[in-house]
Every structure is written in C-alpha cells, then in structure tokens.
Amino acid sequence: MYRSQKWHFIVLFFSSFFLQAQERNEIPPVIDSLYREDQVYFSFTYNIVSGSPSEITTSQFSGGFHTGFIRDFPINSRRNVALGLGLGWSIDTYGHNLYVGEAVEGEGTYFAVLDRDRVDFNTNRFTTQSIDLPIQFRWRTSTPESYKFWRIYAGLRPGYVYYFQSKFVQDGNTYRESDVPEFEKLRLGATFTFGYNTFNFSLYYSLNSFFKDATVNNEDLDLKTLQLGLTFYLL
C-alpha cells in the first residue's frame, strides 16, 4: 500500500510539472508593434579620388572607417519606411599624386601633380577626421517579428572636418602640412546603402570639392571622392 501511494505521488508531481511547463510555453511572445530600427553602424571603405586636373589619380591604399548612431523615425503605419537622423565620426586616408605644399604668404598653398617618372616618393596622402550628421530616407522589408530584412537607405552625409594633415615622404625627406586655408572643412556627400541583415554595401560621393579657390598649373583644382565599402548595422 505504501509503495502504491509513493508511485501515485511521483506521477502527480511530474504531471503537474509538465502542465506548468506547457502553459509557460504557450504564452505568446511580446511583439513590439511600434518598433524602431535604432542602429549603431560601422563602415569600412575604399576611397577613390577623382576630379580635375585629370592627371590626379588614386595611389597606394586609400581607406576609411566610419561609425555612429542613427535614430529611426517611421513615417507609415507598417513602419517599413522611415527617416533616419544620426551622429557619427569618420577617419579617412586618401593616397594620391597631388602634392600639397606650404602656403606662401600672399600666394596661397602650393599644389602640384607629381609625375612618378620624374619624382620618386614613398608616400603622398592626406588624412581627415570629421564629425558627421547622416540623414537617410529608409525603406526595408522589416516586420515586428523579424530582425533580418532587406534594406535600401539613401540620403546625405554633412560633416565637419576638424583634423587635416597632408604627408609627403621620400628617401631622406618627410614633409607634413596641416595649415591649408584652401581646404573645405564643411563636407557634403550623397550616400546609398543596400543589403540584407548585418552585411550591406555602401556608397558615398562627395558633392563639394576638398579645396576651394585652388589651382594647379593654372587649372581649377576640383578634387572629390568616391567611397565604396561595407556597412554593418547593430540594433
């Protein structure tokens, strides 16, 4: 009799445990119908310089790193169309054959296109660091239940360059220049991003030149950049 009661107690215990576990599993997940795609982003780019004079070309490695946070503002009931406003930071390096020399009082900075056949140098580039204010129009296939979706983001990226340095290196000679009055610190570029989930292809094209009121061999210096890269979004 004692053994029968013991087994009866064990059966009741496990039956109660199973029913409670089943009830917990049947609780529906909480769905946020007012979700936002607030995102931290990281971007790695390959930077190409272009413009006039046409003899200016990209040389050596030119790359950039960009990071920041974008606040999402959905503008439709499905919440798959939104505006994005953000704050970011960028560091970019541009390798090229444009020499940026010391400014001469009353004459401005000295610019010259370096001919590899005549001038032997190891490094010629300039580096910038900027604060960015990305603005995006966003379309995606997201839903409240899924964090994996296709996205197309297009917009503008205004920025302010707080650091600029040009560096020229050849055997036995290194020259750096940070005081370039012709450099345009206010930057503006068009951006386009498309991809799926975490991995996304990105494109940036500057809408204004790096330098203003500058000439090379009596030709206007109109130097811009195209940046191609990968952008990673983290919710």
Q: Is the pTM of this model over 0.85?
A: no
Q: How far is CA 118 from CA 52, 63, 121, 168, 173, in A?
A: 21, 27, 10, 15, 16
Residue 51 domain flag: yes
Residue 6 lies in a domain: no
* Residue 16 pLDDT: 55
14 inside domain: no
pLDDT tens digit sequence for 115-144: 877 888 888 999 999 999 999 999 999 887
- What total number of domains does the chain contain? 1
Q: Average pLDDT of 5-28?
A: 49
> Rounded to an integer, what is the distance from CA 43 to the centroid of its chain?
4
Averaged pLDDT for residues 65-85: 94
Q: With b meaning 16 or more CB within 10 Å and e meaning fewer, what string describes 3-42?
A: eeeeeeeeeeeeeeeeeeeeeeeeeeeeeeeebebebebe
User: Which residues constitute the domain of residue 44?
Assistant: 35-234
Average of pLDDT values for 70-89?
A: 94
- List the CATH number of the domain containing 88: 2.40.160.20
The confidence score (pLDDT) of residue 182 equals 93
Does residue 147 form part of some domain? yes
In a domain, 25, yes or no: no
The residue type of 235 is L
pLDDT at position 116, please?
73
Residue 2 pLDDT class (50, 70, 90 cuts)? very low
- What integer pLDDT is reported at residue 13 of this predicted model? 46
Question: Residue 28: inside a domain, yes or no?
Answer: no
Q: In which band, very low, low, confident or very high, does the pLDDT at 171 lie, cut at 50, 70 and 90?
A: confident
Inter-CA distances, 164 with 99, 137, 151, 177, 221, Å: 14, 30, 34, 8, 18
How many other C-beta atoms lie within 10 A of the C-beta of residue 60?
13
110 within some domain: yes
Give a yes or no: residue 5 inside a domain: no
pLDDT confidence of residue 41: 95
